[in-house]
Structure 1
Amino acid sequence: MTGSPGGVVATSHTLSTRAGVQILQAGGNAVDAAIAACAVQGVVAPETCGVGGDLFALVHLPGHSTPLALNSSGRAGSGVDAAALRAAGLDEIPRAHPAAIPVPGCVDGWATLSSRLGKLGLAAVLEPAVRLASEGFPANDELVAAFRASAASLAGVEAAAPMLAASRGATVVRSQLAATLRLVADGGRAAFYEGAPGRAISAAVDGVITADDLRHDQADWVDPLSVDVWGSTGWTVPPNSQGYLGIGGCAVLERLGWADDPADPQSWHLQIEAQRALAADRDDLAVDPGRVPVPLDRLLDAARLDTVAASVDPGAARERHSAAPAAGGTAYLCVVDGDGMAVSLIQSNFHGIGSLVGAGAAGFLLHDRGRGFSLIPDHPGELAPGRRPLHTLSPSLWTRGERLAMVLGARGGHVQPQLVQQVAAFVLGAGLDPDEAQARPRWTIEPPEGPTGAPVPSGSRVRVEPDVPARVVDGLRRRGHEVVPVDGPQPGWGPVSVIQVDDAGWRLSARDPRVATTAVATA
């Protein structure tokens, strides 16, 4: 475990962590370091994120009881047409379809964070990413495996060529992406969205995203959602993010009288059922902010959480619509600087490499977040121009009064809130340190499958890592859970990145052992 009274950076890649530390040592603050780490992650791990994806962030300012929340997720292009897709016989949006690709929000997120809160400016914080893209970096196993798995679909995609040619340890040079990042460093968001990269995005989606769409800033400061639990306040970005499920699941657990005991099936049962109960109506609620069918401040109010907790049977798994299966393609990172500013930032392609569509010669791949839209007529999340889709990204930030208590998040697609709930419960609810919390075996909820392989409303299907005691597995089965032990620790169930701040102000962090590249370092 890493402990420091000064700056700490925790990311899912050694080179990203190193870039964040370098920026802190150069006089930057937590926001500068987070942008630098995020940009490097998109260069060296394009199977997780990049400038073709979206971004959410929470920022704690010392002496402030409420963090800032940034929603920089992109909106659907003006040319999308849900009725036309239905008429073509589709009931969901295909991965590489232009409608699957909203405007990427990442660069707007960087520019907005930097201009309001940064100290060094975009040119300085993007320099490590520009250097790695132009000079090269070693390919790791995850990058090689991801691009080989999609090699047939990526054939002829310029942005993918450097990674498709890579073997483990080989140097990857991304000259086209380096040029795009230099444009952003020198010219900010206008150089990206209104320049050559923006034109490449529009061309890649057959004009579904227009020049006017690209001129519209994707980054919005929003009021965060919060809930009080275990003597702390958990904060997250409101819908279209599903982040409320992670912090809200903790509040349901507290209402259920949960007590941590890794050998007690009841402790596991309540964790699982708290999340299943709260997530049952996620697809109707984690939609475009203007389309959420209930007031946002009611998502985590006491009355609703009381009702959710009352719906949990302490002795048996109830039938519910389970959460959707996990999908990779996300990078979460967190930074606390020496002055106490903290950033909880998450950035993503969605399904692994994303849509498998490249932005021409601009050197990056485009996300497929538009697949979070519904094609059901009049559904709150129905695809339409200018709307934001359901987003799995679930950052969290925790405070005690005006003091920072923790920043926490994970990759993992739809299961991100499940991972946030588990680790937050271990650290804040059970008093474990981050190292102990990271080492605990994890569970994730899967939908049961019907005769055609489609998810159906039914009981609880749970996958568990191999260190779960046999007594727990047997006890969960007796409570009605279908339990599926997996072969080993799951890289896709994380990595979780976490920095806890104790009462003395020490920053405590530990890397997630499930992913080899995960790194924590002090500045």
Structure 2
Amino acid sequence: MIRVVSMPGHHGGVVATPHTLSTRAGIEILQAGGNAVDAAIAACAVQGVVAPETCGIGGDLFALVHRPGDAAPLALNASGRAGSGVDAAALRAAGHTEIPRGHPGAIPVPGCVDGWDALSSRLGRLGLAASLAPAIRLAEEGFPANDELVAAFRSSAAELAGVEAAAPLLRASRGSTIVRSQLAATLRLVADGGRAAFYEGPPGAAISAAVDGVITTSDLERSQADWVVPVSASAWGVTGWTVPPNSQGYLAVGGAAVLERLGWTDDPGDPRSWHLQIEAHRALAAGRDSVVVDPGRVPVDAGRLLDPARLDAVAASVDPSAARDLYAPAGAAGGTAYLCVVDGAGLAVSLIQSNFHGIGALVGAGSAGFLLHDRGRGFSLLEGHPGELGPGRRPLHTLSPTLWTRDERLALVLGTRGGHVQPQLVQQVAAFVLGAGLDPDEAQARPRWTVEPAPTPPGAPVPSGWRVRVEPDVPARVVDGLRRRGHQVVPADGPQSGWGPVSVIQVDEAAGWRLSARDPRVATTAVATA
């Protein structure tokens, strides 16, 4: 664990990311005089270069930014919209009940570059070119391949054969040097010409060609980045903030608020403590897929999702002694990178960027050097569903960045990868740090759980308890107690790298300290100070 004590005149900060090189880039920018926004963009860009199995400029971005003195953080939704040429009726007519991976309808306009541009132009200090310099350098000069990258690309080698952007990654072996010269050229275009050079230049043309024109020139000219009003809920004297739908982040902060209402106390050996954590999430997650949709189609006011009266009702629906029969959200998926930065002046960024399913759609943007996401698979093909695929709409997003304040002062920045289970992981770590008073190192070390629908034969009724997977260090007494309460518990065979890495920075501005700790589940995860 690292501890930073801020002194008068101190201009350092803390950077926590899923990769050593990404953290190093953030620190480099802070030391060059950049602020937390500049550093977060730098770390994000490097992450997309050195860990393209997690994110990249072919995907989307969400961010929360705390400015000292502001009552609420700024919230950025840089998730892309479906192209003008998508056709849900045609997919239904072809017999599809969900959008196939790699189908043009699964690939919305990538929002990442618009997100960088919006953050840098409004809040950055050094400019986008400076923030992208470390990523360009690594893409041009090369970086060492790690096990996760090698495994991800080898597992998809057949599907990626002939995809130009994947070629240098498919040749990689552990420790070999990867050079991504095409991506470096694209990043230089962005550094020199901003969003127009990307969306209206050769990279944009490559995106349109890759999806057979489903994404048009007009789609690419439209900015994918919107500053939105964050949603919040309070728990343990702290207010948790997140981005509203089409993000599912409300489940993370709302789950913590429900948990507090249930009178939860931390006891790692007590099955009831675990049961309440699980049920707090399950109760709030019922109905998620009908509200985490395009912002213009959310069937209720986004602020009502975390209304105190609604959270009271959700808590009242929880049975403290048994698993309830609730609708389950979809299963888990990876392909995401979460990072956070707090600079010496107290500016903080909670940023998440994603391909969605691992490498994404397994489709490359021609010779532009990057792969495209498949976030459009979050759309529904049910006719009339609020989340139905349609031109210009944004899909359901699993990305769940959070930022927590106490009396308008920064208290915590927290997030993770993990696809659909992100809110479950965030809720657990938030409860440990904010509700139980553990430091980040202790919270990261605690065994985790995730819940998913239990497998059932076609046509069979959904069982009352979800399948609960737990890491190996969970005591046998807890496993037995959860089973008695109706949960179908499946112990995992080891620590789960997909249940993280969680990145977290805890802050007490009044006392002048920051705490952070790396997640031990992923070898590349790194935390550093400037």
**TM-score above 0.5:** yes
Other-structure match for 1:3 = 3
Other-structure match for 1:147 = 153
Q: Distance in 1 between matches of 2:234 and 2:523?
A: 34
**Once the two structures are superposed, what CA deviation does each residue of 1:483-520 show, in whole Å capped at 9, x if it has no partner?**
00000000000000000002412110000000000000
What are the ranges of 5 or more consecutive residues in structure 2 without an aligned counterpart?
A: 7-11
Residue 306 of structure 2: SS of its match in structure 1?
Answer: coil
Aligned CA-pair RMSD: 1.0
Superposition pairs of residues 230-379 of structure 1, within 5 angstroms: 230-379=236-385
Other-structure match for 2:9 = none
Checking the alignment, whether the CA contact within 8 Å between 2:239 and 2:405 is kept in structure 1 is yes
Is 1:519 the counterpart of 2:526? The answer is: yes
Checking the alignment, whether the CA contact within 8 Å between 2:27 and 2:528 is kept in structure 1 is yes
* TM-score of the pair, normalised by structure 1: 0.99
Checking the alignment, whether the CA contact within 8 Å between 2:269 and 2:477 is kept in structure 1 is yes
How far off its partner does 1:458 sit?
3.9
Q: Distance in 2 between matches of 1:46 and 1:411?
A: 14
Match for 1:514: what amino acid?
Answer: R
* TM-score of the pair, normalised by structure 2: 0.98
Superposition pairs of residues 23-422 of structure 1, within 5 angstroms: 23-422=29-428
How far off its partner does 1:323 sit?
2.6
**Once the two structures are superposed, what CA deviation does each residue of 1:355-374 show, in whole Å capped at 9, x if it has no partner?**
00000000000000000000
How far off its partner does 1:402 sit?
2.3
How far off its partner does 1:33 sit?
0.1
Residue 242 of structure 1: SS of its match in structure 2?
Answer: coil
CA spacing shift, 1:95–1:200, aligned 2, 3 Å: same
Other-structure match for 2:488 = 482
How far off its partner does 1:302 sit?
0.8
How far off its partner does 1:317 sit?
0.1
Match for 2:248: what amino acid?
Answer: Q
Percent of residue pairs bearing the same amino acid type: 83
> Structure 1 residue aligned with 2:451, among 445, 449, 457?
445
**Once the two structures are superposed, what CA deviation does each residue of 1:100-140 show, in whole Å capped at 9, x if it has no partner?**
00000000000000000000001111000000001000000
How far off its partner does 1:457 sit?
6.2
Residue 56 of structure 1: SS of its match in structure 2?
Answer: strand
Residue 135 of structure 2: SS of its match in structure 1?
Answer: helix
Residue 398 of structure 1: SS of its match in structure 2?
Answer: strand
How far off its partner does 1:437 sit?
0.2
Residue 471 of structure 1: SS of its match in structure 2?
Answer: helix
Q: Distance in 2 between matches of 1:425 and 1:314?
A: 17
Other-structure match for 2:478 = 472
CA spacing shift, 1:453–1:242, aligned 2, 3 Å: farther
**Once the two structures are superposed, what CA deviation does each residue of 1:154-191 show, in whole Å capped at 9, x if it has no partner?**
00000000010000000000000000000000000000
CA spacing shift, 1:394–1:137, aligned 2, 3 Å: same
Other-structure match for 2:512 = 505
Q: Distance in 2 between matches of 1:418 and 1:134?
A: 38
Match for 1:51: what amino acid?
Answer: I
Residue 352 of structure 2: SS of its match in structure 1?
Answer: strand
CA spacing shift, 1:148–1:242, aligned 2, 3 Å: same
How far off its partner does 1:455 sit?
10
Residue 435 of structure 1: SS of its match in structure 2?
Answer: helix
**Once the two structures are superposed, what CA deviation does each residue of 1:86-105 show, in whole Å capped at 9, x if it has no partner?**
00000000010000000000
Q: Distance in 1 between matches of 2:329 and 2:175?
A: 37
What are the ranges of 5 or more consecutive residues in structure 1 without an aligned counterpart?
A: none
Checking the alignment, whether the CA contact within 8 Å between 1:65 and 1:399 is kept in structure 2 is no
How far off its partner does 1:453 sit?
11
Match for 2:112: what amino acid?
Answer: C
CA spacing shift, 1:371–1:453, aligned 2, 3 Å: farther
Other-structure match for 1:460 = 466
Residue 40 of structure 2: SS of its match in structure 1?
Answer: helix
Checking the alignment, whether the CA contact within 8 Å between 2:323 and 2:464 is kept in structure 1 is no
**Once the two structures are superposed, what CA deviation does each residue of 1:369-416 show, in whole Å capped at 9, x if it has no partner?**
000000001101000000000000000000012210000000000000
Checking the alignment, whether the CA contact within 8 Å between 1:8 and 1:336 is kept in structure 2 is yes
